[in-house]
Amino acid sequence: MAVLVGKKAPDFKAAAVVNSEIVEDFTLSQFIGQKYVVLFFYPLDFTFVCPTEILAFQEKLSEFEKANCQVIGVSIDSKYSHHAWLNTPKNQGGIQGVTYPLVADLDKTISMNYDVLAGDYTYDVDDDGNERRSFVGTPVAYRGTFLIDLQGVVRHQVVNDLPLGRNIDEALRMLHALQHVEKFGEVCPANWEEGKDAMKATKEGVAEYLSKH
């Protein structure tokens, strides 16, 4: 699994559904210099854990937006599948009401560039000398979450296995922590939450923090 923290987030251009409208050339780069981004991958539309995560992001969307952060979801489904799911009522297993972008990674290149594809392509040659390509594993994305700063650099990532739903509050906490560090030049200790004490990255700062806690 690649560690992208500290590196430029791989850009992409792909179809997406935004507020139930299909956008053909949706890019990550349009937000660089403008907004923070929480980019998250999920396995498939019309499944079970995935809608709980997608709807949970929607419930917290105003808090992300208040922090100048764009939430973007990605799966290997088509734009048509996204559109259909977004127009299916919640009581029928849909995600109607979700307004942030869902990107269609139908050829799996975005998932591969972020190294969250749950498997890999293998190549061999048949008896006639023809190259054959096959996929080993499950051709969907793990539940990867990436926090990208205003310069387009990945500052935090976490990847869950397919049956393990992520914590949306943790994604929001990490966004607040990054912004606190950038604004005040302090570092955030274990279990830090917005509004709590941080500390200076010095021996004296650590000692002062520990003496109060």
Catalytic residues: 50
Name the residue among 108, 18, 11, 103 with its Cα closest to residue 61. Answer: 18
Identify residue 168 by its one-letter amino acid code: I
Return the H-helix or E-strand segment holding 175: helix 168-184
Q: DSSP label at 176?
A: H
Residue 104, judged by CB atoms within 10 A of its CB (0-12, 13-18, 19+), counts as buried
Residue 208, judged by CB atoms within 10 A of its CB (0-12, 13-18, 19+), counts as middle
For helices 168-184 and 49-59, the axis angle rounded to 10 degrees is 40
